Amino acid sequence: MFGAFSCWRCPNYAVHSKCATREDVWDKKELEDEPEEEVIEDPYKVINEKEIIHFSHEHNYLRLGDDNAADYEKMRCDICILPINSDTFFKCVECEFIIHKVCASLPRWKRNILHNHKLCLVSDNRYRKNQKCRCCLQIFDGARYQCETLCPLHPFYLDVRCGTIVEPFHHELHPHPLYRTSTEHKTCGACSKDSEYVLSCTVCDFALGMECATLPRKLKHRCDDHDLSLHHEPGKSKGQLWCDICEGKTDPNVWFYGCDDCGTTLHIKCVLSDMYYLKPGNIYLKCELLPNDGMTRPFCLICEKRCMSPFLFRGMLPDSSFAYACSMECLAESNE
């Protein structure tokens, strides 16, 4: 038997003494005989059954959206930047600010398994563009969970997808619960890439990197009329799979998006690109991010290939003509 720390509020929660005092878990503060004082700030104030005031927005009222969300299919939540789709949402009565009801309820302060200090939910327009999550390494807009112990040289912040990860973590593509068991780099079982921040299985050798753990489970894409969902089919395919976007081979041993109705298979990178967590309409390096939903797909100025991603960057050249970039990588290269 091992000694353990337990929570006085949650009788079923306990942690081995050795695990609780790991450097990535414990902040080295002794709290014996100190009263627990938890400051709880509600993320919003209820005005009535359909209206709230949310801390992240400067205008007075956000109103609950109606049942017909067809007009909002292409709009994105200003907190998590994911599509509104058919989810319940609040919308500002004065501007285009819109958030999922779930995101409106995210706690302003919380603990997270990926960091040993308390994190604060921050939604500040000065810092909402082109941030990079410390754990999944995705560039994102919107709100972030930031360490309250601020370090000007190495600020620690997470996007809200990583910031809301809890243990045990369950994913439908793996049969066992996952935990943050160590700080060692491991190979992600979803993409076969090395990752620093992983969730590990205590039953088998499977590990899941944060980039893959926070992938949208289901989404819509212009290449298919149905919802796409994550798939993992090692050894099950009877023939070679091909991505319907880039027409390259799809490896069934790594995760991919697919349509259960049509049998479509798609690379995750082709579906999401490196711009999926950015807000259309925002400006990056003097270029505007726009949906790639025209009748034709323009050529990228840098790689000279057609822009295949669901979004693209558009900038104006000195002769007043437009140029396009198909990714953050190409956009950065164009400004070098």
Residue 335's pLDDT is: 75
What are the structure tokens assigned to 190, written together?
Answer: 């979803």
Per-residue pLDDT of the chain (336 residues; tens, 9 = 90+): 567 767 666 666 677 766 766 665 666 666 665 666 555 678 889 999 899 999 989 888 899 986 555 555 678 999 999 998 888 899 999 998 999 999 999 999 888 888 878 888 988 754 455 688 999 999 999 999 988 776 656 678 899 999 999 889 999 999 999 999 888 899 999 999 999 899 999 999 899 999 999 999 999 888 888 899 999 877 665 678 889 888 898 888 899 999 988 888 999 999 998 999 999 999 998 899 999 988 888 999 999 999 988 899 999 999 999 999 999 999 988 876
Helix, coil or strand: residue 198? strand
Residue 21's pLDDT is: 66
Q: What's the CA dihedral at 42, 44, 46, 51 to 10 degrees? A: -160
- Global pTM reads 0.82
Distance in angstroms (rounded) separating the CA atoms of residues 253 and 234: 5
What are the structure tokens assigned to 250, written together?
Answer: 């799809």
Give the distance from CA 75 to its chain's centroid: 16
Neighbours of 259 (CB within 10 A): 19
- Which top CATH class is 218-272? alpha beta
Residue 115's pLDDT is: 82
Residue 70's pLDDT is: 55
Give the distance from CA 333 to its chain's centroid: 25
